[in-house]
Amino acid sequence: MKVFVIGTGVVGSLIARELSKYDIELHIVEKKPDVAWGVTKANSAILHAGYDDPPESVRAKFCSKGNYLYNKISKELDIEVKRIGSYVVAFTEEEINTLEKLQKQGEINGVPDLEIIERKELLSREPNLNPDVLAALWAPTAGITEPWEVAIAAIENSVENGATLHLGEEVIGIEVKNGKVKRLITNKAEYEADVIINAAGLFADEIAKMADSEPVFEIFPRKGEYILLDKKLGNLVNSVIFPTPTKKSKGILVLPTADGGLLVGPNAQDLPPDKKHDLTTTKEGLEEVKKGATNLVPNIDFWYAVKTFSGLRPETKEKDFIVGKTSVWGFVNAAGMRSPGLTAAPAVAEYLVEEVLIEELGISLNKKKDFNPFRKRIPHIDETSVEVWDELVRENPKYGELVCFCNKVSEAQIVEAIKRGARTLDGVKFRTRAGFGRCQSGFCSLKIIEILSRELGVSMEEIKMNSENSWIMNGKVRV
């Protein structure tokens, strides 16, 4: 049985990892030179509790379950999940009514421990909230994580369990014969295939078109802009703060990041389907984000901004996931994974394998006896105890030599990231957090380029920021 997963975002990578539990020939195909560089790289990084989604939606089916599954995978894959909870805050009576609706909806969806908190209690828990707030819906199971780390971990674990990872390989065709998947064609090779899982994020519609499969759908990029602020402001809020949602989106939120900073955003701007590369930020968008954020938490000092960025969500007309089998046998979609896609991903992965492949398509899959569910992350030395860090330094003194000062990343971690596949500055950054901090790699970028060049045995000029044409240095000053 030859199974191909297209895409290495959280969805594709968790599906791959689920599949790697079985005795099959598993291939993971990614067109970018590294994993998790699409939607997964830039979003709110929230594990939603699951009260937002209408009970009849596909989203509702997977969200709270996915949220729950993170308990297990965070342990197995050694990824950071901080269950800091979330508040949806209300400023008017009308919004309080919405909170009550959300609470009921959440209960139907199986979200545990939802509670409406009154103003006084709320302000004692979150003293920096806008004092005009009246009440909030508290969801203790909501959390934050690092989505790219989830994907990186799941891919590492899949490869450990026998999967083959094809990076920089773009799918350009799918051959279907007698209504069944036959071949996968990439810009580099052609493969016989039995099953193809389409987890191509923003480009899932194009992949589905290649298979000429039904349902037919289109992915619309919906842009969200964000502002990341210094760690100094990381304690302004203790939980994820949402405004009361509108029909269109969950609104602009304020939340601490997994590495201790403060993130505000996103706004929501619908783009035409041909704008799937548009990661620009706009003046209006950033103003909107500032306004929305200060409405929730008035004293955010934007002098402490360290960066702005934008991400694209893969939206569909139905505003829902497109998950399941198609008119082509063996071609399976995990598409339209807009919010809460990150949260739902583990549940979607389990469903696709156990329900769709095994039950619906009747594929007999045998579990591997020697599947290793565990993966160890590169140690985050600034979060380990003093004793653990000291122990690491005794084993390898390079754990004591810091390269990134803002996020405290040592040379040993960077070398380890390179061993695990980092080839670029972003590859190192997303695996170690080096360069993510307040100086935005001012102190460490050149040192990391030097380490990459040394470890990979290439000249410094060959080291890129991320993609092929993102060169950094233009030759020598003196030859």
Which residues would be at the binding site for another protein (CB under 8 A)? 227, 232, 277, 279-283, 285-286, 302, 305-309, 386, 389-390, 393-394, 397-398, 400-402, 405, 408, 438-440, 442-443, 445-446, 450, 460-461, 464-479
DSSP lists the bridge partners of residue 2 as: 25
Q: Which of 48, 166, 277, 380 does the annotation list as catalytic?
A: 48
Q: What's the min distance (Å) between Cβ of 477 and another protein?
A: 5
Which residue's CB is nearer to another protein, number 2 or number 398? 398
Is 27 one of the catalytic residues? no
Exposure pattern of 152-162 as b/e (b: 16+ CB <10 Å)? bbbbbbbbebe
Q: What's the min distance (Å) between Cβ of 456 and another protein?
A: 16
**Which amino acid, one-letter code, is at 103?**
Q
Q: What's the min distance (Å) between Cβ of 255 and another protein?
A: 19
Q: What's the min distance (Å) between Cβ of 330 and another protein?
A: 35
Backbone angles phi, psi at 93, to 5 degrees: -60, -40
Residue 86, C-beta contacts closer than 8 angstroms, at least 6 positions apart: 46, 48, 49, 138, 139, 142, 239, 240, 241, 242
Q: How far is CA 451 from CA 242, 403, 413, 414, 419, in A?
A: 41, 10, 11, 8, 12
Contact criterion met (CB below 8 Å) for 39 and 16: no
Q: What's the min distance (Å) between Cβ of 251 and another protein?
A: 20
Contact criterion met (CB below 8 Å) for 434 and 404: yes
d(CA 372, CA 309): 36
Residue 158's closest CA among 284, 262, 12, 365? 12
DSSP lists the bridge partners of residue 3 as: 26, 195
Residue 58, C-beta contacts closer than 8 angstroms, at least 6 positions apart: 320, 321, 322, 323
Which residue's CB is nearer to another protein, number 79 or number 414? 414
Active site residue ranges: 48
